[in-house]
């Protein structure tokens, strides 16, 4: 039959183990929460960066269209000037 001292030792030892396990679980939960918060913050930053890059891309596309229109207008002006001077040069040779 176990003595009172052995039972008391076992009870104290088990209680200590549970306290250590509780502490370890709390630390683990705290670490998991920090990791989740950091991941959530990173996702938010990446979404903001995607929005920013999307805006820049759209602005660049608009600028490209404007430059293409300007190039077309200049090409038309160039053709007009060449045609006008060709007619003038032809009339001068008559």
- The pLDDT of residue 8 is above 70: no
pLDDT tens column, 39-81: 999 999 999 999 999 999 999 999 999 999 999 999 999 999 9
Give the dihedral of Cα atoms 78, 79, 80, 83; nearest 10 deg. Answer: 120
In 3D space, the residue among 48, 50, 69 whose CA is nearest the CA of residue 58 turns out to be 50
């Amino acid at each position: 039959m176990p003595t009172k001292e052995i039972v008391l030792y076992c009870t104290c030892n088990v209680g200590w183990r549970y306290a250590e396990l509780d502490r370890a679980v709390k630390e683990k939960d705290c670490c998991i929460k920090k990791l989740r918060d950091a991941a959530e913050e990173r996702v938010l930053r990446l979404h903001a960066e995607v929005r920013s890059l999307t805006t820049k891309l759209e602005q660049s596309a608009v600028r490209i269209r404007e430059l293409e229109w300007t190039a077309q207008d200049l090409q038309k002006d160039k053709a007009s000037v060449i045609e006008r001077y060709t007619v003038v040069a032809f009339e001068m040779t008559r």
